[in-house]
Amino acid sequence: MTDIPLFVTSLAPYNDRLAEAITRVIPTRRFILGPEVEAFEREFADYLGVRHCVGVANGTDALTIALRALGIKAGDEVVVPSFTFYATAEATIMAGATPVFCDIDLDTFCVTSDTVRAALTPRTKAIVPVHLFGNVAPVPQLREFGLPILEDAAQAAGGELDGIKAGALGDAATFSFFPSKNLPCLGDGGAVTTNDDGIAERVRLLRFHGSKDKSTFTEVGYNSRLDELQAAALRVLLPELDDWNERRRRAASTYERLGLGEHAVLPRPVDGAKHVYHLYVVRANDLPVGRRYYRVPVHRQPAIAATVTLPATEEAARTNVALPMGTHLTEEQIRTVVAACGSGST
Ligand SMILES: Cc1ncc(COP(=O)(O)O)c(C=O)c1O
């Protein structure tokens, strides 16, 4: 065993700048939908290379609202992976639709066009590929189905596929700024991104109770805004994202260089993907370190209980192990983890 934490990331160097940003907002008394949110939305959209970013309260609401903005309604089916965080499917149900679970590619932990194809029915109205663990799902390959694609990019801020940012690949995409994510805020936060003016407008409407002018309510929506304090914090941290992701990628190559591959199957980026290693997840039957994620995949959760056979999902749930990762992981710590894996693997 080692005492190295799973998330080796520190915001300590940014304490002063975060405090300054918050101190700037407090006297303005504008805490909801003000200039900080507007500026962050512009800055994050520019960073991703998309026309629109709309800040919402968290990554789960982002998914529900984006699905509704894409036109998903009761009776529709949406294809989602089962090997993901529960919220991907939960949000689909909250949007009124039925999640239909597809399998993944075991080496990348992401959906493929073959796994999605197997889950399609005449009622399928959208596909939600998840950029799991910071890998980037092969979104362009899913275009062959002619269905709207919503990227769940909660775990992949800054990731890329063939030079295009995760979040700019689908018809819309969703992000979470939960504190453990690659781009964190200081609480809950999320966003929807899109190049489509109509989708962006509907997301803006839905995040404010289905109203454009705060007096006429044309839809039943949500109270789901990114707040000014979180947006101010995100504006401090966004410029650091590329450097942080570079550090994560360096840590991943160090694991490889120090021989972790002798004890476990290492994560493989999707072809053309710039993986951003939100988590560093290997596969092994037995390691004395790390944590297993999604050990009961979503389709077998009590609230869902879907009858479907997903062999790669089951295998991933049984054998995945997340090892320490983060912006401040040292070579020495990586060496310790690799040595621990070597001492206990079967
Ligand atoms: C893949 C995925 N989708 C959605 C979410 C939901 O985000 P949030 O916790 O901000 O609601 C998360 C994160 O927790 C996630 O990892």
Give the span between the Cα atoms of 320 and 308, in whole angstroms: 21
Residue 346 scores a pLDDT above 60? no
Distance 336 CA to ligand 1 centre (A): 30
Q: Answer whether 130 contacts ligand 1 (Cβ < 6 A).
A: yes
Write the CB contacts of 120 (distance below 8 Å, at least 6 apart in sequence): 79, 145
Give the span between the Cα atoms of 10 and 22, in whole angstroms: 19
Q: If you ran DSSP here, which 8-state letter would residue 119 be given? A: T
* Average pLDDT value for residue range 90-108: 98
Query: Tens of pLDDT along 254-283?
Result: 999 999 999 999 999 999 999 999 999 999
Q: Which residue's CA lies nearest to atom 10 of ligand 1?
A: 59
Query: What pLDDT does 1 receive?
Result: 60
Q: Answer whether 90 contacts ligand 1 (Cβ < 6 A).
A: no
Residue 178 scores a pLDDT above 80? yes
* Average pLDDT value for residue range 14-35: 97
pLDDT band for position 2 (50/70/90)? confident
Residue 344 scores a pLDDT above 90? no
Residue 345 scores a pLDDT above 80? no
Helix axes 197-207, 59-69, angle to 10 degrees: 120
Residue 311 scores a pLDDT above 90? yes
Q: Answer whether 178 contacts ligand 1 (Cβ < 6 A).
A: yes
23-62 burial code (b ≥16 CB/10 A, e <16)? eebeeeeeeebbebbeebbebbbebbebebbbbbbbbbbb
* Average pLDDT value for residue range 238-242: 98
Residues comprising the chain, all counted: 346
